Amino acid sequence: MPIMEINIRKLFHEVRTPVYSSDGANCFDIFTPFSGRINSFDSVVVNTGVAFDIPADYCLLLFSRSGHGFKNDVRLSNCVGVIDSDFTGSVKVKLTSDSVEDFYFEAGDRIAQGMIIYAPKILLNEVDFFDKKTARGENGFGSTGN
């Protein structure tokens, strides 16, 4: 499968180009050109200083870094960020600390990870009932087991 190319803009001189940390990585690391602190049980908006030229029918999904969560109890405030193809500004993430200790980050640190995915427009049709019958039907939480 060919590699997809996406144009980016570095909005500050200090911005690092997002990179994949390993050959098997599905998300690329996104860095911040700024240093900062998240106070205990608080949130802060972190500017990545990079803008993406996302093609139509695609979006950029932003995720927390697992190391932040497992080692420092830090996560994206909205859990998963969605950057639409018509947004061309600087990508920012809001990080929340669920820790009793402050979290410090330095300029050049990995602050989030991103994945470009196909997201076609969908025509939603309103109907009175579904033709499809399934074993689960409308049964919800816990209906398929533990």
pLDDT in tens, 93-106: 999 999 999 999 99
- pTM equals 0.89
> What integer pLDDT is reported at residue 140 of this predicted model?
80
Within 10 Å of residue 6's Cβ, how many Cβ atoms?
Answer: 13
CA distance 30 to 48: 7
Question: What pLDDT, on a 0 to 100 scale, did the predictor assign at position 142?
Answer: 74
Q: What is the pLDDT of residues 68-115, one digit of tens each?
A: 999 999 999 999 999 999 999 999 999 999 999 999 999 999 999 999
Q: What is the pLDDT of residues 19-61, one digit of tens each?
A: 999 999 999 999 999 999 999 999 999 999 999 999 999 999 9
Match 């640190």 to its residue by tokens.
109
**CB neighbours of residue 45 within 10 Å:** 10
Beta carbons of 5 and 14 less than 8 angstroms apart: no
User: Per this entry, what is the length of the chain?
Assistant: 146
Query: What's residue 66's pLDDT?
Result: 92
Exposure of 134 in the CB half-sphere (CA atoms within 13 A): 9
Type and span of the H or E element at 31 = strand 28-31
What pLDDT is stored for residue 146 in this prediction? 61
What three-state secondary structure class fits 103? strand
Distance from C-alpha of 35 to C-alpha of 47, rounded to nearest angstrom: 10
